[in-house]
Chains A and B, each alone.
Chain A
């Protein structure tokens, strides 16, 4: 069923997908992690309540999150072009992915950090810890297992987005599924791509859960 060269194409698509997913997850966390921290810290019962910052950031995040991913991808094309010089292919997709994923990651981080018991933060304050020390030495380390579970969810969500980006000229397995499976009617290729995506999701999810469980000292 495979034509010559198909295997190479799929292989390239596979690595492209992995590359897009990991790179955009990395950048999404680079932006989303501090944003999540700011959300928690500036909340009204946080360690540095700042109502205005909290609200503005919250609304901004909600706006980006409420735009459907494909529309967002198209809407920010001028920005994408300015950043990476192109609107198609893996590089362009990464820009779209991280813009879409960073607010999502911020919310995931926020909910993980909120799981940290308030009393533990209070104990650190009673020892004279500064807000920065509480963030770096209490909030993040104590929320680590939950953050790791969150990152597994983020990676798999971003992977799903990256496949969608195939519709508007993105690379990777999604693009192959759409170009060959959908436009050319080669349904078998489409199914293979779907199976591959399912396997990748399973691997990332399972790995994330295992690392989280292993790192959690509460068990």
Chain B
């Protein structure tokens, strides 16, 4: 990736925390490049270090080692005052919103502008515009306590956008919201990305969030990047164990078959072929049946994907014939771990 297209570059990021009885290293050298204008996802299970990693981007946590670049500027080398200046070009939203409870929605959105010295009248004007953008034009004078979770997150988004940032960092921004509200907030983030060209970094533990809005994703596990690539790639063929865990988990009762049933395979259908009765034809042509354990469809970057977990027959010859049939039709087939 050419330097001028890179918005955020993390190189060799390590983070150690001092603890009782020694040090704990939570990030073991992370290298990531995030392009201008993309929505980049960082996914991992809780405790994987993803929240620490996003805090290292705006240096709320100072990495123990490594460098952070924002649009070519090395943040880790800046003195405090200049770092504060740079932070104004990075907005951040949080799982628990973190709004000022004693200020109205409008005053919350004005807050970052107050800090950076924008004249009051101008700040107010822009804050009203931003609240309109996030669909809260009628709640300007409400206090956070009077707003729902989704509305609070919208205020937080408006506030994060107030200083016209180049980057928006989202730390589990939808994890405290119900599915409908989550969809609304994600749609808003996508809209902001498209309309304003802001680079967005999404931290989450939910694959569905990544699939919904991200272009690329890094899977973080045990303080390291396990896998990184386009969301489509990772969804179709997750290479690592953690990747498979995250992808399969989505919408399937994984516990019911992983390690319990033999000959289980995950099949992924892409786009148009989801509409063809490939599976039915296979069963007729190969003269055998499969057991469907779970199945769903996903939209990833405007493409439809179907994924299914199938149990194939015991008989090896028949099984291989069926799998061969599917692969020939362009379906991704992958065996699910059986212990």
Known interface pairs A141-B103, A144-B102. Does A123 touch B115 (Cβ–Cβ under 8 Å)? no
> For the complex, what is the distance from the CA of A217 to the CA of B88, rounded to whole Å?
27
Asked if A129 and B92 make an inter-chain contact with CB atoms under 8 angstroms apart, the answer reads: no
A125 at the interface (CB under 8 A from B): yes
> For the complex, what is the distance from the CA of A215 to the CA of B103, rounded to whole Å?
11
> For the complex, what is the distance from the CA of A122 to the CA of B101, rounded to whole Å?
14
What interface size band does chain A fall in? 20 to 34
Asked if A133 and B115 make an inter-chain contact with CB atoms under 8 angstroms apart, the answer reads: yes
Among A119, A130, A217, A218, which residue has its beta carbon within 8 angstroms of that of B98?
A: A119
B53-93 with Cβ < 8 A to chain A? 58, 60, 84-88, 90-92
Asked if A128 and B145 make an inter-chain contact with CB atoms under 8 angstroms apart, the answer reads: no
Q: Which residue on A lies nearest to B95, using beta carbons?
A: A119
Asked if B85 and A128 make an inter-chain contact with CB atoms under 8 angstroms apart, the answer reads: yes
Known interface pairs A133-B115, A141-B100, A141-B102. Does A126 touch B85 (Cβ–Cβ under 8 Å)? no
A110 at the interface (CB under 8 A from B): no
> For the complex, what is the distance from the CA of A137 to the CA of B102, rounded to whole Å?
11
B90-122 with Cβ < 8 A to chain A? 90-92, 94, 96, 98-103, 111-112, 114-116
A30 at the interface (CB under 8 A from B): no
Total contacting residues, chain B, CB less than 8 A: 29
How far in angstroms is the closest Cβ of chain A from B293?
41
A117 at the interface (CB under 8 A from B): yes
Asked if B101 and A142 make an inter-chain contact with CB atoms under 8 angstroms apart, the answer reads: yes
> Taking chain B's interface residues, is the majority helix, strand, or loop, or is none over half, making it mixed?
mixed
> For the complex, what is the distance from the CA of A139 to the CA of B94, rounded to whole Å?
19
Asked if A128 and B101 make an inter-chain contact with CB atoms under 8 angstroms apart, the answer reads: no
A120 at the interface (CB under 8 A from B): yes
How far in angstroms is the closest Cβ of chain A from B176?
12
What residues of A have a CB within 8 angstroms of the CB of B112 in the complex? 127-128
> For the complex, what is the distance from the CA of A125 to the CA of B91, rounded to whole Å?
11
Asked if A142 and B98 make an inter-chain contact with CB atoms under 8 angstroms apart, the answer reads: no
How far in angstroms is the closest Cβ of chain B from A27?
26
B199 at the interface (CB under 8 A from A): no
Asked if A120 and B98 make an inter-chain contact with CB atoms under 8 angstroms apart, the answer reads: yes
What residues of B have a CB within 8 angstroms of the CB of A119 in the complex? 94, 96, 98
Asked if B98 and A127 make an inter-chain contact with CB atoms under 8 angstroms apart, the answer reads: no
How far in angstroms is the closest Cβ of chain A from B68?
14
**A-facing mask of B225-259, CB < 8 A → 1, else 0?**
00000000000000000000000000000000000
What residues of B have a CB within 8 angstroms of the CB of A117 in the complex? 96, 98
Q: Which residue on B lies nearest to A119, using beta carbons?
A: B98
B143 at the interface (CB under 8 A from A): yes
10 A-B pairs with the lowest CB-CB distances in the bound complex, closest first: A128-B87, A123-B98, A128-B84, A126-B92, A119-B98, A217-B143, A127-B112, A128-B88, A218-B145, A120-B98
| 6 more A-B residue pairs beyond the given contacts A126-B60, A128-B87, A128-B163, with a C-beta to C-beta distance below 8 A | A117-B98, A127-B112, A130-B115, A137-B115, A142-B101, A215-B102
| Interfacial residues, chain B to chain A (CB-CB below 8 A) | 58, 60, 84-88, 90-92, 94, 96, 98-103, 111-112, 114-116, 143-145, 159, 163, 169
